[in-house]
Amino acid sequence: MKKYLLVLVSFIFLACSAHEGPKHSISKAQLFPQMYAQKPKSILILPAVNSTKSAKAAREFSFTVTMPLASLGYYVFPVHLVDAYIKEKHLSHEGIMKLPALKQLKEQFNPDAIMFVDINQWDYSYSVVKTTTTVGVVYNMIDANTGAQLWANSGVYDHVPGAVIVGGPIALAIGLTVNTIVAATSALTQNAQQYMQMAYVLNSHAFYDLPRGPYSKLYMKDQNVLLSYRDKSQLVGDKIYVQPYFIVGSKIDSANKDSLCLSGVNSLGKCSGLQSYERYYREKVIAGNKYFFNAFFHYENGLPYLLSDNKKVFIKTQPNGKITYHVQIIKPNEKLPTSFIQTGFNVMPNTTQPRAKVLYYFDVLRVDNLVK
Amino acid sequence: MKQICLILLTCFLFLACSSPKPLLPSEKLYIWDGYLQSSLALGTNPSKTQLASHLRVLLNIIAQSDKAHKRVAPGIYAGVGQLYYDLGEQEKGIKYFLLEKSTYPEAKVFIDNALKELYPTQFGSQDKQAKNAKEEILTNNTKEEKK
């Protein structure tokens, strides 16, 4: 019981401490320029690509995606009928991803926009300390006529008994950019149902900010709606510093309860090798274009950016498109270059010496000021 | 007692951090009563009985929407059409596919194609007709089971 409470409080602490940065706002027009320019009315959601070990993921997911998107006012093609049709026509996922297939999809479905969904986590992990259920999804919407990216989002949803954490840029309107506790759920028991319910919550959050569609009264009237966010990153020169969980995930180090684990947690609840960044990181080729996703980035024309201090800070990617992060060690007597990005991480845990600190940053490609 | 305290504390802490917000937009465009729960209950390999029960939920959503003078949510008519077909009731199925099309003109091209490719009525192959006939028997059996 005590352990539960400690873990819970740690989660709360993390969720609260994620709200440290200054508060800003961004309009929907600034966040979704392509959506307002192309004005898609109907959205074809293709059967999800399932890159998890769970064979059932795509089918279970399909029940959870229409409701939150259609509720915004878009026409969403009937997902199960689309699924049956695509199977009948032997349209493969690999085939659909290529550009000529777009023309074919346009002819056979006549959508304004096509949404690709990639399920990358549908897992259940068990350890002595805790069990975690995780659902991770990458969304990418393109213009059905041109193939240009209209919108993208991604998120990871961890369910541990007693707390639910959704990570990702996901929804500013709900006041979260990272690690917000959605609800304490205890009723989730059956596995398939748990996954589906989680997928539904994740989808609801992922679509929440989107401009309202043509069946809504707010259609083309919500451009100036402001979404507020708190800085989760800090621009210093040509570096943008990010909160540690951005890189390492939100695992709790059970041996050192007041801090995040620098890495994943192994079966004994101890930290193990750096793996979380990869866990949150995906790349994807759609219609000949390469897109990259980390659960915490926003995307515009396929380029990752972070919102910070009323700016869109675009991040440098490698020629192969990978986003590389850097680690900076701050010695005990050195001044931190950041004001609100703090790390409590000790580089050497078992020492009484003053602790060195670790900061994480990305290289900045360019900065777009958001005009008020 | 201890547990109750813990739950209360948990609730308090949650509220302290983030005010809970609704998952769907406040403007309620559609009625979805029972849709998610029923879908959750379907699971991976639904039986005919489960499909029939899901069909009842969808039909109820249509009835409720009509009653409230609301547009039926996208995909509900098509879902009913598909379920009727799967349960062997082609004529009812086609009626609902046409309703999806007339409610949402965006769906016209696709519904026409889907009917042609998936559910050819007049020109259906013998295999398909045989399959449908078989399914009809299964459905009748299910109905009898219920009786």
Distances (CA, A) of A280 to A271, A293, B103, B127: 17, 8, 40, 47
- With a pLDDT cut of 90, the percent of chain A lying above it is 26
CA-based nearest distance B146→chain A, Å:
26
Closest alpha carbon to A77 in A152, A88, A119, A69: A69
Q: What integer best gives the mean pLDDT of chain A?
A: 74
Closest alpha carbon to A151 in A285, A279, A291: A291
Give the C-alpha separation, B3 to A109, whole Å: 54
pLDDT in tens, A128-158: 555 667 788 888 899 999 888 899 887 777 6
Q: For residue B95, which phi and psi values (nearest 5 degrees)?
A: -60, -45
The pLDDT confidence band at residue A113, using thresholds 50, 70 and 90, is very high
The pLDDT confidence band at residue B84, using thresholds 50, 70 and 90, is very high
Query: Residue B132 CB: number of other CB atoms within 10 A?
Result: 20
pLDDT recorded at residue A303 = 83
The pLDDT confidence band at residue A9, using thresholds 50, 70 and 90, is very low
Q: Which amino acid is at A59?
A: R
**From A73, which residue of chain B is nearest by alpha-carbon distance?**
B29
Q: What does the pLDDT average to over A262-273?
A: 36
Cβ(A359)–Cβ(A239) below 8 Å: no
Interface contact flag, A184 B118, Cβ < 8 Å = no
Which residues sit opposite A360 in a β-bridge? A242, A327
Query: Which residues from B are below 8 Å from A219, CB to CB?
Result: none
Interface contact flag, A108 B19, Cβ < 8 Å = no
Cβ(B69)–Cβ(A70) below 8 Å: no
Q: Tell me how many degrees the CA angle A9-A12-A14 measures, rounded to the nearest 5.
A: 110
Q: Is B17 on the interface with A (CB under 8 A)?
A: yes
Give the C-alpha separation, A326 to B141, whole Å: 65
Choice among A3-17, A183-197, A234-248 with the minimum mean pLDDT: A3-17
Nearest to B43 among A181, A192, A197 (CB): A192
The pLDDT confidence band at residue A336, using thresholds 50, 70 and 90, is confident
Nearest to B27 among A19, A208, A217 (CB): A217
**Which residues are CB-contacts of A301 (< 8 A; sequence separation ≥ 6)?**
A34, A148, A149
Q: Tell me how many degrees the CA angle A183-A186-A169 measures, rounded to the nearest 5.
A: 30
Query: Residue A22 CB: number of other CB atoms within 10 A?
Result: 13
Give the C-alpha separation, A158 to A303, whole Å: 26
Cβ(A243)–Cβ(A232) below 8 Å: yes
Choice among A33-42, B41-50, B64-73 with the minimum mean pLDDT: B41-50
Read off the DSSP letter of residue B73.
Answer: P
The H-or-E segment that residue A290 falls in is strand A289-294
pLDDT in tens, B5-14: 444 444 444 4
Nearest to B14 among A68, A181, A215 (CB): A181
Give the C-alpha separation, A99 to A85, whole Å: 20
Interface contact flag, A56 B44, Cβ < 8 Å = yes
Interface contact flag, A84 B82, Cβ < 8 Å = yes
